[in-house]
Each structure stands twice: as C-alpha cells, then as structure tokens.
C-alpha cells in the first residue's frame, strides 16, 4: 500500500512507500527545520515570511536551503491546489493552502509542528491526519530503521559550514522537538 505525506513548511508531497527503501532518505524532512505555514519553497511569500521571522537567516542561506529542498525531493512540489483554498475551514485561515495541497496530492498525513491549527475535525472528512514530525519520523523508523539512519547520516554529512559532531546533531534534533527520534537515533550514534 502506498501512502502520501504532505510536509507542512514547504508544501511537499512525498510517497515514501511507493518504491524501494532507498526513497526514504529523500523524505526525512523531520531532520530539517520545518516551520510556519508556507507556500512553495521557492515562492516570494515564503522567502518574505522566513526572512522577516528568522533574523538569523540571510537571503543567500535561504536560497541554498530552497535549492537543497528542491534537489532532495524532486518532483514533490504541489501545484494547482489554489482553487480548493476558499472552500476549506481551519482555525488559522492562512493554513488552508496546506490542507488544499494535501488534498490535491492525495496525502494521508500532514506533517507539522503546528497541530493545533490542523484539528482532526477539519482533516478527517478529507481522509487526512496531522502528525508531529517526531511521530512521523518514528513511523518511518518502524518501517525501515536503516533508511532513517542513512537519512540522518546524509543530513549530518551535508552540514559542512561548520561541520557538526554527532552529539551536537542529536542535540539540535532534540531542541527542534524530535525527542523520540533523537532517542532512536542515539542507539546508532557510533555510525551517524
């Protein structure tokens, strides 16, 4: 059975069960920073939102992150969802585009830190549930621990400026709210 997941924070739809386990490293989005109700990762709205709310980011850093997101999960950007937005109701109307994108790509899960704005009463009629990134990563861990560990290895290896040791990498994941994921990955600390 194939499932599709919408990653809140970039309107990405990924199908981690659609093929070989090698697809899992591409969907390890919980290992990145996912925050805010954003449009396409290359949209001016997203860039403006992030630069306004993240004083620690520069335009150059954001451009690099957007390029890495596009490269990591090619073909996952959702389009043609805008016509669905007006007919949807969520506690924060600015999040309706996330649900619309999830509906458009047939997602069964919206992965988001912002679960309060995606209540089950609004999502269940669409056959969708909201899941915290930590729970999502654990779901992937249960399906294929080697693929998640490989994704974490790849993620850490790409942190080059500056490089990041395993302890700091795991601490950063924990600080982002990925507590259970961090505990699971800590068992593989020697190979991360």
pLDDT digits (tens, 9 = 90+) for 34-76: 322 233 445 566 677 778 878 888 888 888 877 777 777 666 7
pLDDT digits (tens, 9 = 90+) for 76-134: 777 788 899 999 999 999 888 888 888 888 888 888 888 899 999 999 999 899 999 99
**Strand ranges, E, within 4-81:** 5-7, 12-14
First-to-last C-alpha distance (Å) of the chain: 30
Q: Comparing C-alpha atoms, which of 78, 75, 97 is closest to residue 86?
A: 97
């Amino acid at each position: 059975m194939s499932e599709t997941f919408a990653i809140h924070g970039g309107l990405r739809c990924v199908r981690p069960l659609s093929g070989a386990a090698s697809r899992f490293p591409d969907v390890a989005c919980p290992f990145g920073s996912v925050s805010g109700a954003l449009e396409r990762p290359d949209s001016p709205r997203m860039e403006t939102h992030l630069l306004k709310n993240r004083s620690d980011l520069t335009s150059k850093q954001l451009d690099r992150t957007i390029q890495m997101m596009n490269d990591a999960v090619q073909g996952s950007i959702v389009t043609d969802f805008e016509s669905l937005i007006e007919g949807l109701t969520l506690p924060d109307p600015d999040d309706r585009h996330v649900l619309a994108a999830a509906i458009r790509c047939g997602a069964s899960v919206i992965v988001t830190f912002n679960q309060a704005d995606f209540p089950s009463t609004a999502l269940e009629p669409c056959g969708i549930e909201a899941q915290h990134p930590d729970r999502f990563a654990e779901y992937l861990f249960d399906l294929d621990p080697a693929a998640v560990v490989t994704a974490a290895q790849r993620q850490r290896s790409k942190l080059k400026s500056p490089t990041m040791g395993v302890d700091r990498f795991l601490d950063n994941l924990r600080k982002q709210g990925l507590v259970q994921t961090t505990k699971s990955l800590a068992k593989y600390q020697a190979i991360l």
